[in-house]
């Protein structure tokens, strides 16, 4: 089957099931082999070396679609199936546009639009994708392995909560403006043994800095959408310039983490289980099987001193 993936999380899942897409989106970068495939999308937003505030401003100023689909390239690939998403309008080509483009092809490919809104939804999509591409058995095996790993985290978290309680947790997937991570993240915080009250029960949403201060998280996880770990560290600096940042309990206790958002949290693929394990290590390091600071994807960040902050004070 010839499959085109317009969604990074779907590309990750397809490779995990042993299916190499014939074409992918410009954002598909995992596994590394995905970077060598023909790209079918582009964006007018320039992310390279741009601040969170600059990227946000560009997104707001776009007149029309944020992402473009190259229909000529798509037609040349003659796909049997297009995999896209309907969860987030700023994460990929709009699903309605994909369906319209598919209808213009001859023959028209099937369209699978993934729309996860919870942790379980995201993991169940592994089997949806597997069934669609004729790899139901491989998908079932992968889903079983994921379930086992989640259960292991859940069991350790229950023991940790019994001993330590649930720390107040704030997970941000953008910093300027601050946006609290929604969809599957609330579920993940709860499973990992944290207090999920800060995370919305729905899509990610902007949050006033005053509300962050009032919640006063004991653990702060910064996982900006589309940013790798080093840029997530820079994003923590955005927050450090805000009033009373140093007064947050998470800052005082040295429990601020910068996370590779591309690898963890942002993409609803099977790798959300990696994210869950990393989150548990941040919340309950004494009970985790791995160190709380995975140097490749997650790092504990000491707040910058006043002398190195952007405002100089």
**pLDDT the model gives residue 46:** 52
Asked if pLDDT for residue 20 goes beyond 50, the answer is yes
Cα–Cα–Cα angle for 93, 99, 103, nearest 5°?
A: 135
The predicted model gives 192-201 an average pLDDT of 97
Does the predicted TM-score (pTM) go above 0.85? yes
Under the banding of pLDDT at 50, 70 and 90, the label for residue 97 is confident
Tell which residue, 247, 222, 236, has the closest CA to residue 170: 222
* 39-43, 103-107, 240-244: range with lowest mean pLDDT: 39-43
**pLDDT the model gives residue 58:** 52
Tell which residue, 248, 229, 234, has the closest CA to residue 294: 229
Give the span between the Cα atoms of 313 and 311, in whole angstroms.
5
* 33-42, 93-102, 156-165, 283-292: range with lowest mean pLDDT: 283-292
The predicted model gives 258-287 an average pLDDT of 94
E strand or H helix at 185: helix 185-191
Give the span between the Cα atoms of 185 and 183, in whole angstroms.
6
Architecture field, domain 139-300: 3-Layer(aba) Sandwich (3.40)
Give start-end residues of each CATH 3.40.50.1980 domain in the chain: 3-115, 139-300
- Class assignment of domain 3-115? alpha beta
């Amino acid at each position: 089957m010839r499959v085109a993936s317009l969604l990074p999380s779907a590309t990750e899942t397809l490779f995990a099931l042993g299916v190499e897409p014939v074409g992918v989106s410009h954002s598909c970068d995992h596994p590394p082999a995905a970077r060598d495939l023909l790209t079918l999308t582009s964006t007018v937003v320039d992310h390279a070396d741009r601040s969170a505030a600059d990227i946000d401003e560009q997104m707001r100023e776009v007149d029309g679609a944020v992402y473009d689909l190259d229909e000529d390239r798509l037609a040349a690939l003659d796909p049997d199936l297009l995999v896209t998403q309907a969860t987030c309008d700023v994460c990929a080509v709009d699903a309605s546009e994909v369906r319209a483009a598919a209808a213009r092809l001859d023959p028209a490919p099937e369209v699978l639009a993934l729309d996860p809104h919870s942790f379980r939804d995201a993991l169940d999509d592994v089997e949806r994708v597997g069934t669609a591409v004729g790899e139901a058995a491989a998908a079932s095996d992968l889903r079983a392995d994921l379930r086992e790993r989640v259960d292991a985290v859940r069991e350790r978290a229950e023991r940790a909560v019994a001993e330590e309680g649930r720390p107040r947790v704030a997970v941000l997937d953008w910093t300027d403006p601050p946006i609290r991570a929604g969809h599957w993240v609330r579920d993940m915080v709860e499973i990992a043994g944290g207090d999920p009250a800060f995370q919305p029960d729905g899509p990610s949403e902007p949050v006033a800095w005053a509300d962050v201060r009032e919640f006063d998280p004991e653990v702060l996880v910064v996982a900006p959408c589309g940013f790798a770990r080093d840029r997530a560290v820079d994003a923590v600096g955005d927050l450090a310039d805000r009033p009373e940042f140093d007064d947050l309990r998470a800052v005082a206790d040295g429990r601020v983490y910068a996370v590779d958002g591309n690898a963890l949290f942002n993409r609803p693929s099977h790798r959300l289980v990696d994210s869950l394990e990393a989150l548990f290590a941040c919340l309950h390091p004494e009970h985790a099987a791995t160190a709380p600071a995975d140097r490749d994807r997650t790092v504990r960040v000491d707040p910058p001193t006043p002398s190195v902050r952007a405002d100089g004070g």
